[in-house]
Amino acid sequence: MRTITKGTVMRMHNPPHPGEILKSLCLEPLGLTVTQTAEALGISRKTLSSILNGRSGISPEMAVRLSIAFDTTAESWLNQQTQFDLWHAEQSRKQLRVTRLAA
């Protein structure tokens, strides 16, 4: 699979789940526990744990919560989730039964 960006073709790679990024770049450097972080985000430990372990994705609302808590942008979290989801969808491209409509 290739991604076209401003006329350049770039090969996609296997992007990490946003939960991995959250854990390694936000929680661990700040010494935060799952409980502390869940409370600060206003969510349950179970919900946060599911994200951190890659079982759940980042929703738009969660992206906003993360952007407020960690002084980032909601778009950055959603872009990470989109890249992760798209890469995994591309892995099953050959199994999709789709008829080409464009030339």
Residue ranges covered by each domain of the chain: 16-92
Q: Give 19-37 pLDDT, tens digit per residue.
A: 999 999 999 999 999 999 9
Q: Give 53-77 pLDDT, tens digit per residue.
A: 999 999 999 999 999 999 999 999 9
Q: Give 36-57 pLDDT, tens digit per residue.
A: 999 999 999 999 999 999 999 9
User: In CATH, which of 1.10.260.40, 3.10.105.10, 2.60.40.60, 2.70.98.60 is domain 16-92?
Assistant: 1.10.260.40
Q: How far is residue 9 from each of residues 2, 43, 84, 89, 96, measured CA to CA in Å?
A: 6, 40, 19, 19, 23
Three-class DSSP category at 103: coil
Q: What are phi and psi of 3, to 5 degrees?
A: -115, 130
Q: How far apart are CA 40 and CA 57, in angstroms?
A: 19
Q: How far apart are CA 6 and CA 92, in angstroms?
A: 26
